[in-house]
Protein backbone atom coordinates (compact mmCIF):
# COMPACT_ATOMS: atom_id res chain seq x y z
CA UNK A 1 0.00 0.00 0.00
CA UNK A 2 1.34 3.45 -0.86
CA UNK A 3 1.83 5.55 2.28
CA UNK A 4 1.13 9.27 2.55
CA UNK A 5 4.11 11.31 1.48
CA UNK A 6 5.24 14.92 1.41
CA UNK A 7 7.38 16.01 -1.50
CA UNK A 8 10.25 18.15 -0.23
CA UNK A 9 12.23 18.41 -3.48
CA UNK A 10 12.25 17.10 -7.05
CA UNK A 11 13.74 13.89 -5.69
CA UNK A 12 13.09 14.33 -2.00
CA UNK A 13 10.23 12.90 0.06
CA UNK A 14 9.04 12.36 3.60
CA UNK A 15 7.09 9.12 3.85
CA UNK A 16 4.83 9.59 6.86
CA UNK A 17 4.75 6.63 9.24
CA UNK A 18 6.64 4.46 6.76
CA UNK A 19 8.49 2.62 9.56
CA UNK A 20 5.62 2.57 12.07
CA UNK A 21 5.09 -1.19 11.95
CA UNK A 22 8.71 -1.92 12.88
CA UNK A 23 9.50 1.20 14.90
CA UNK A 24 9.59 -0.59 18.25
CA UNK A 25 11.99 -3.21 16.86
CA UNK A 26 14.15 -0.45 15.42
CA UNK A 27 14.40 1.24 18.83
CA UNK A 28 15.22 -2.10 20.54
CA UNK A 29 17.86 -2.78 17.91
CA UNK A 30 19.39 0.68 18.43
CA UNK A 31 19.69 -0.12 22.15
CA UNK A 32 21.54 -3.37 21.33
CA UNK A 33 23.84 -1.58 18.89
CA UNK A 34 24.65 1.24 21.29
CA UNK A 35 25.55 -1.32 23.96
CA UNK A 36 28.26 -2.54 21.54
CA UNK A 37 29.38 0.83 20.11
CA UNK A 38 28.27 3.48 22.59
CA UNK A 39 26.81 6.84 21.68
CA UNK A 40 29.38 9.59 22.11
CA UNK A 41 29.79 13.30 21.46
CA UNK A 42 32.32 13.97 18.73
CA UNK A 43 34.32 17.12 18.13
CA UNK A 44 34.90 19.03 14.92
CA UNK A 45 38.20 19.96 13.35
CA UNK A 46 37.91 23.37 14.98
CA UNK A 47 37.40 21.78 18.40
CA UNK A 48 33.64 22.36 18.74
CA UNK A 49 31.55 19.63 20.31
CA UNK A 50 28.86 18.09 18.08
CA UNK A 51 25.71 18.37 20.19
CA UNK A 52 23.89 15.21 19.10
CA UNK A 53 25.33 11.95 20.42
CA UNK A 54 26.37 9.61 17.64
CA UNK A 55 27.53 6.14 16.82
CA UNK A 56 27.41 3.93 13.73
CA UNK A 57 26.76 0.49 12.38
CA UNK A 58 27.60 -0.99 9.01
CA UNK A 59 30.91 -1.42 7.25
CA UNK A 60 31.75 2.26 7.59
CA UNK A 61 31.12 4.64 10.46
CA UNK A 62 31.09 8.38 10.16
CA UNK A 63 33.50 10.06 12.57
CA UNK A 64 34.60 13.59 13.36
CA UNK A 65 37.60 14.75 15.38
CA UNK A 66 40.52 17.14 15.07
CA UNK A 67 41.43 15.50 11.74
CA UNK A 68 38.02 16.39 10.33
CA UNK A 69 35.02 14.42 9.04
CA UNK A 70 35.48 11.00 7.46
CA UNK A 71 34.38 7.38 7.33
CA UNK A 72 36.29 4.77 9.32
CA UNK A 73 36.01 0.97 9.33
CA UNK A 74 36.94 0.78 13.03
CA UNK A 75 35.14 2.44 15.91
CA UNK A 76 37.81 4.80 17.31
CA UNK A 77 36.59 4.10 20.88
CA UNK A 78 37.18 0.34 20.72
CA UNK A 79 39.38 -0.04 17.64
CA UNK A 80 36.92 -2.81 16.66
CA UNK A 81 34.74 -2.92 13.54
CA UNK A 82 31.38 -1.18 13.89
CA UNK A 83 28.45 -3.53 14.57
CA UNK A 84 26.95 -5.08 11.45
CA UNK A 85 24.16 -3.23 9.70
CA UNK A 86 21.01 -5.04 10.87
CA UNK A 87 18.96 -6.61 8.09
CA UNK A 88 15.86 -4.73 9.27
CA UNK A 89 17.66 -1.37 8.79
CA UNK A 90 18.79 -2.41 5.34
CA UNK A 91 15.37 -3.60 4.21
CA UNK A 92 13.40 -0.55 5.44
CA UNK A 93 16.00 1.75 3.84
CA UNK A 94 15.88 -0.11 0.51
CA UNK A 95 12.12 -0.10 0.56
CA UNK A 96 11.83 3.66 1.30
CA UNK A 97 14.51 4.45 -1.31
CA UNK A 98 12.59 2.34 -3.86
CA UNK A 99 9.41 4.25 -3.06
CA UNK A 100 11.33 7.46 -3.86
CA UNK A 101 12.53 6.07 -7.19
CA UNK A 102 15.98 4.88 -6.10
CA UNK A 103 16.02 1.15 -6.74
CA UNK A 104 18.54 -1.33 -5.30
CA UNK A 105 19.77 0.97 -2.51
CA UNK A 106 22.27 -1.02 -0.47
CA UNK A 107 23.64 1.15 2.36
CA UNK A 108 27.03 0.36 3.86
CA UNK A 109 26.92 2.99 6.62
CA UNK A 110 24.30 3.92 9.18
CA UNK A 111 24.84 6.89 11.45
CA UNK A 112 22.79 6.73 14.64
CA UNK A 113 22.02 10.20 16.00
CA UNK A 114 20.54 10.75 19.46
CA UNK A 115 19.01 14.06 20.45
CA UNK A 116 17.97 15.30 23.90
CA UNK A 117 15.72 18.35 24.47
CA UNK A 118 17.46 21.52 23.30
CA UNK A 119 19.78 19.61 20.96
CA UNK A 120 19.61 20.06 17.20
CA UNK A 121 21.91 19.77 14.20
CA UNK A 122 23.14 22.75 12.21
CA UNK A 123 22.68 23.09 8.47
CA UNK A 124 25.12 20.86 6.59
CA UNK A 125 25.51 18.83 3.41
CA UNK A 126 26.13 15.07 3.42
CA UNK A 127 29.13 15.02 1.12
CA UNK A 128 31.69 12.69 2.68
CA UNK A 129 30.49 9.83 0.47
CA UNK A 130 32.42 9.07 -2.74
CA UNK A 131 29.41 8.08 -4.80
CA UNK A 132 26.65 10.68 -4.65
CA UNK A 133 24.34 8.77 -7.00
CA UNK A 134 22.82 6.99 -4.00
CA UNK A 135 20.17 8.69 -1.86
CA UNK A 136 20.15 9.47 1.85
CA UNK A 137 17.55 7.58 3.86
CA UNK A 138 16.75 9.07 7.25
CA UNK A 139 14.47 7.38 9.80
CA UNK A 140 12.97 9.26 12.75
CA UNK A 141 12.15 7.58 16.06
CA UNK A 142 10.88 8.99 19.32
CA UNK A 143 9.89 12.57 20.01
CA UNK A 144 9.12 14.80 17.02
CA UNK A 145 11.62 17.17 15.46
CA UNK A 146 11.59 19.95 12.90
CA UNK A 147 13.64 19.14 9.82
CA UNK A 148 15.18 22.08 7.97
CA UNK A 149 15.58 21.40 4.26
CA UNK A 150 17.40 24.04 2.26
CA UNK A 151 19.15 24.39 -1.06
CA UNK A 152 22.63 23.96 -2.46
CA UNK A 153 24.06 26.83 -0.43
CA UNK A 154 24.04 27.38 3.31
CA UNK A 155 22.11 30.60 2.91
CA UNK A 156 19.61 29.28 0.32
CA UNK A 157 15.96 29.56 1.21
CA UNK A 158 14.82 26.65 3.36
CA UNK A 159 11.62 24.96 4.44
CA UNK A 160 10.62 23.30 7.69
CA UNK A 161 8.96 19.89 8.02
CA UNK A 162 7.74 17.95 11.01
CA UNK A 163 9.43 14.56 11.43
CA UNK A 164 7.52 12.20 13.68
CA UNK A 165 8.12 8.72 15.05
CA UNK A 166 8.20 6.27 12.12
CA UNK A 167 8.64 8.90 9.39
CA UNK A 168 11.26 8.19 6.75
CA UNK A 169 12.83 10.97 4.67
CA UNK A 170 14.62 10.17 1.41
CA UNK A 171 16.50 12.62 -0.78
CA UNK A 172 18.83 11.96 -3.68
CA UNK A 173 19.58 12.82 -7.29
CA UNK A 174 19.21 16.56 -7.82
CA UNK A 175 18.47 17.00 -4.11
CA UNK A 176 21.34 14.86 -2.80
CA UNK A 177 23.53 17.78 -1.72
CA UNK A 178 20.87 20.02 -0.27
CA UNK A 179 21.70 21.59 3.06
CA UNK A 180 19.63 20.20 5.90
CA UNK A 181 19.51 20.22 9.68
CA UNK A 182 17.36 19.74 12.77
CA UNK A 183 15.98 22.49 15.02
CA UNK A 184 16.72 22.11 18.74
CA UNK A 185 14.35 19.49 20.11
CA UNK A 186 11.37 20.72 22.13
CA UNK A 187 10.63 19.11 25.47
CA UNK A 188 8.30 16.22 24.77
CA UNK A 189 7.85 12.55 25.66
CA UNK A 190 7.63 9.34 23.71
CA UNK A 191 6.91 5.99 25.39
CA UNK A 192 9.80 4.25 23.61
CA UNK A 193 12.51 6.93 23.89
CA UNK A 194 11.37 9.11 26.83
CA UNK A 195 12.43 12.75 26.10
CA UNK A 196 14.75 11.87 23.27
CA UNK A 197 14.80 11.25 19.56
CA UNK A 198 16.83 8.78 17.52
CA UNK A 199 17.61 9.21 13.87
CA UNK A 200 19.08 6.58 11.58
CA UNK A 201 20.81 8.04 8.55
CA UNK A 202 21.63 5.34 6.01
CA UNK A 203 24.10 6.01 3.25
CA UNK A 204 26.09 4.23 0.60
CA UNK A 205 29.62 5.57 0.91
CA UNK A 206 30.96 4.33 -2.42
CA UNK A 207 34.22 3.25 -0.76
CA UNK A 208 35.51 -0.17 -1.75
CA UNK A 209 36.87 -2.28 1.04
O1 LIG B 1 18.35 13.79 12.64
C2 LIG B 1 17.99 13.96 11.50
O3 LIG B 1 16.83 13.80 11.12
C4 LIG B 1 19.00 14.44 10.44
C5 LIG B 1 20.38 13.88 10.65
C6 LIG B 1 21.35 14.39 9.65
O7 LIG B 1 21.11 15.37 9.00
C8 LIG B 1 22.63 13.73 9.44
O9 LIG B 1 22.99 12.79 10.18
O10 LIG B 1 23.36 14.15 8.50
Residue 60: which domain range?
5-203
Q: Is residue 63 part of a domain?
A: yes
**What ligand 1 atom has the least distance to the C-alpha of 140?**
3
Q: Is residue 50 part of a domain?
A: yes
Task: Give me ligand 1 centre to Cα 138, in Å.
Answer: 7
Cβ 203 under 6 angstroms from ligand 1 = no
Q: Is residue 78 part of a domain?
A: yes
Number of H helices, E strands in the chain: 2, 15
Half-sphere exposure at residue 133, Cβ-oriented, CA atoms within 13 angstroms:
6
Evaluate if pTM is beyond 0.75: yes
Q: Is residue 175 part of a domain?
A: yes
- Structure confidence at residue 209 (pLDDT): 63
Cβ 201 under 6 angstroms from ligand 1 = yes
Cβ 138 under 6 angstroms from ligand 1 = yes
Task: Give me ligand 1 centre to Cα 15, in Å.
Answer: 16
Q: Is residue 209 part of a domain?
A: no
Q: Is residue 93 part of a domain?
A: yes
**What ligand 1 atom has the least distance to the C-alpha of 138?**
3
- Structure confidence at residue 1 (pLDDT): 43
- Structure confidence at residue 59 (pLDDT): 98
Question: Count of domains in the chain?
Answer: 1
Q: Is residue 208 part of a domain?
A: no
pLDDT in tens, the chain (209 residues): 456 999 999 999 999 999 999 999 999 999 999 999 999 999 999 999 999 999 999 999 999 999 999 999 999 999 999 999 999 999 999 999 999 999 999 999 999 999 999 999 999 999 999 999 999 999 999 999 999 999 999 999 999 999 999 999 999 999 999 999 999 999 999 999 999 999 999 999 999 76
- For residue 208, count other CB atoms closer than 10 A to its CB: 6
Task: Give me ligand 1 centre to Cα 181, in Å.
Answer: 6
Cβ 11 under 6 angstroms from ligand 1 = no
Task: Give me ligand 1 centre to Cα 1, in Å.
Answer: 27
Ligand 1 atom 1: residue of nearest CA: 199
Q: Is residue 46 part of a domain?
A: yes
Cβ 182 under 6 angstroms from ligand 1 = yes
- Structure confidence at residue 159 (pLDDT): 98
Half-sphere exposure at residue 106, Cβ-oriented, CA atoms within 13 angstroms:
4
CATH number of 127's domain: 2.60.120.590
Amino acid sequence: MKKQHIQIGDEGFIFKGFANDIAETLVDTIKELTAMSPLRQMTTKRGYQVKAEMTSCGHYGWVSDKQGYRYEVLDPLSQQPWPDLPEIFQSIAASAAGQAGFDHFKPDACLINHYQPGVGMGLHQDKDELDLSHPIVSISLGVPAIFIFGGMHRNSEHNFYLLEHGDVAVWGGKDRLRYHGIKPLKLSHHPLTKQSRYNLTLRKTGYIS
